[in-house]
C-alpha cells in the first residue's frame, strides 16, 4: 500500500481558536503573530480509501499559517514553513504529498517544495479543474443554459487553474471573457487561446461589467477577500466558486435566490473513508485537490504530477481517467457547504425567469 499526506492550513484565525479554544482569550493580532512560530502538526490519520484496484491511507498535516500570512509574509519564510511541514509528512511515512489551499499557490506552486523533499508532490489542481468544469456544465444544463452560446467568464484567468479552465472552455463555447488584474498576462493567454482554438476571447481587468453580462462564471482567484457581490450577477447565472477562501460573498446566498452558486471541486471518495477530521463536508466527501493525491497513491504513481503554473489539458484528461477507474466522482451540487437539490435548482431557474420577464 502506498501512503499519502495532504497539507492543510488555517484559513483565518478563527480556525486556530476552534482547534485551541483557550486561544480565543488572546487578542487576535497577538495570536496571529504567535502562530508563526508553531511547529508543523499531524492533524489526523485517514483510513478506508479503497477502490476495486487498491487501497491507501494517509495523514492530514498542518502548516500553521493563515491565508493572510501565506500571502503577506516574506515568500522565503512561507515556503520554508511549507517544506518543514512536508518533512513531517516524510517522517510519518507518506510517499506522496498533496498541497492544499494557499500552500499550492505561494511561490512557484510547489516546484521549490518538491525539490526540497524526498517524496513526490502534487498540488491537486488537475483534478480540481476537471471536476469544476464537469460540475459547471451539469449546472448550466439544469439551468437551461446553452453553454456553446452562453456568455462565459473566468475570474482569475491568469492563474494556473483559471488559465487551463479557459483553454478547455474555449473549445466548448463561443463567448468567453477572461478576467484578471494583469492585462499583459491576459493578452498573452488570449493569444494562446486564439492560436489553439481559434476563439477570440475578450479580456478585462474590470470584473463588474463582465460579471453582470455572464451566464456562466468560474471563479478561481487567490484573493483573501470576496470578489463577487450580490449586485454583480444577472438573474439565472451559474457561478462555480473554486477558490478557498471563497470568491463569492455569502451575501449572494442571502440576497440572490435567482442565481445558482456551486462549490467547485467536491467529490465522493470510494470506500469507507474516515478523515478523523472535520473540514466541513459530510462523511465520504473531499475536495478534488485532496482526491488527486489519493488517486495517485491508489494508482501507485508516486511522482510529481501537478506542479507549477502551466497545467496541461493532457494532465487533466489523465487524472480524470484515473479518477473514474478508481471510483471517484463529482458529488451532487453543494453551495456554501450545503447540498443543493434538483428541486432547489428548478426553483432558482423559475425565479430567474420571472425576474427576467419583469425586466423586459
> Which pLDDT tens digits describe the chain residue by residue (360 residues)?
999 999 999 887 777 777 776 667 777 777 778 788 889 999 999 999 999 999 999 999 999 999 889 988 999 999 999 999 999 999 999 999 999 988 988 889 899 999 999 999 999 999 999 999 999 999 999 999 999 999 999 999 998 889 999 999 999 999 999 999 999 999 999 999 999 999 999 999 988 899 999 999 999 998 878 999 999 999 999 999 998 788 999 999 999 999 999 998 789 999 999 999 988 788 999 999 999 999 999 999 999 999 998 889 899 999 999 999 999 999 888 898 888 999 999 999 999 999 888 877
| Judgement on whether residues 241 and 348 belong to the same structural domain of the protein | yes
Same domain as 313, residue 225: no
- Same structural domain for residues 272 and 196? no
| 226 and 286 housed in the same domain | no
Concatenated DSSP letters for 45-86? EEEEEEETTEEEEEEEEE----HHHHHHS-HHHHHHHHHHHH
Instruction: Tally the domains of the chain.
Output: 2
Domain region containing 283: 3-126+267-330
Are 227 and 308 within one domain?
A: no
Please report where in the chains the cell 471563479 appears, as a residue. Answer: 219
Q: Find the CATH number of the domain harbouring 203.
A: 3.40.50.720
* Whether residue 192 is found in the same domain as residue 249: yes
Q: How many residues does the chain have?
A: 360
pLDDT in the model for residue 322: 97
Q: Which among 19, 42, 18, 16 has a CA at the least distance from the CA of 30?
A: 16
Q: Alpha carbon of 184 to those of 151, 163, 178, 181, 188: distances in Å?
A: 23, 14, 12, 9, 6
Q: Could you tell me if 260 and 319 lie in one domain?
A: no
What pTM did the predictor assign? 0.86
Statement to judge: residues 134 and 257 lie in one domain: yes
User: In this structure, are 308 and 350 located in the same domain?
Assistant: no
With beta carbons less than 8 A apart as the criterion, state whether 276 and 97 touch. Answer: no
- Shared-domain flag, residues 216 and 299: no
Question: How far is C-alpha 134 from the geometric centre of its chain's CA atoms?
Answer: 13
Beta carbons of 7 and 89 less than 8 angstroms apart: yes
Q: Does residue 200 sit in the same domain as residue 121?
A: no
Same structural domain, 170 and 262: yes
Amino acid at each position: 500500500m502506498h501512503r499519502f499526506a495532504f497539507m492543510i492550513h488555517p484559513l483565518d484565525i478563527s480556525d486556530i481558536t476552534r482547534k485551541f479554544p483557550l486561544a480565543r482569550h488572546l487578542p487576535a493580532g497577538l495570536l496571529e503573530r504567535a502562530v508563526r512560530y508553531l511547529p508543523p502538526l499531524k492533524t489526523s490519520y485517514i483510513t478506508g480509501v479503497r477502490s476495486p484496484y487498491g487501497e491507501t491511507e494517509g495523514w492530514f498535516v498542518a502548516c500553521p499559517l493563515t491565508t493572510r500570512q501565506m500571502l503577506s509574509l516574506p515568500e522565503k519564510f512561507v515556503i520554508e514553513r511549507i517544506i518543514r511541514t512536508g518533512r513531517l509528512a516524510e517522517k510519518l511515512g507518506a510517499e506522496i504529498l498533496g498541497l492544499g489551499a494557499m500552500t499550492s499557490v505561494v511561490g512557484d506552486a510547489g516546484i521549490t517544495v518538491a525539490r526540497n523533499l524526498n517524496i513526490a508532490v502534487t498540488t491537486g489542481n488537475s483534478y480540481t479543474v476537471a471536476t469544476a468544469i464537469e460540475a459547471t456544465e451539469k449546472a448550466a444544463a439544469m439551468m437551461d443554459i446553452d453553454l456553446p452560446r452562453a456568455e462565459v467568464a473566468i475570474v482569475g484567468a491568469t492563474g494556473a487553474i483559471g488559465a487551463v479552465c479557459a483553454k478547455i472552455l474555449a473549445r466548448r463555447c463561443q463567448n468567453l471573457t477572461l478576467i484578471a488584474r494583469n492585462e499583459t498576462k491576459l493578452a498573452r493567454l488570449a493569444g494562446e487561446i486564439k492560436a489553439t482554438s481559434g476563439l477570440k476571447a475578450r479580456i478585462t481587468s474590470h470584473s463588474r461589467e463582465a460579471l453582470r453580462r455572464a451566464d456562466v462564471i468560474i471563479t478561481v482567484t487567490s484573493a483573501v477577500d470576496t470578489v463577487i457581490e450580490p449586485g454583480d450577477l444577472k438573474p439565472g447565472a451559474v457561478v462555480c466558486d473554486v477558490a478557498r477562501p471563497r470568491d463569492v460573498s455569502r451575501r449572494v446566498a442571502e440576497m440572490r435566490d435567482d442565481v445558482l452558486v456551486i462549490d467547485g471541486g467536491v467529490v465522493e471518495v470510494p470506500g469507507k473513508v474516515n478523515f478523523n477530521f472535520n473540514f466541513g463536508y459530510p462523511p465520504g466527501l473531499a475536495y478534488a485537490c485532496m482526491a488527486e493525491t489519493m488517486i495517485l497513491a491508489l494508482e501507485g504513481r508516486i511522482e510529481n504530477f501537478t506542479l507549477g503554473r502551466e497545467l496541461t489539458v493532457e494532465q487533466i484528461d489523465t487524472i480524470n481517467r484515473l479518477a473514474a477507474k478508481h471510483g471517484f466522482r463529482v458529488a451532487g451540487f453543494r453551495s456554501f457547504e450545503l447540498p443543493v437539490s434538483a428541486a432547489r435548482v428548478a426553483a432558482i431557474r423559475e425565479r430567474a425567469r420571472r425576474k427576467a420577464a419583469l425586466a423586459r
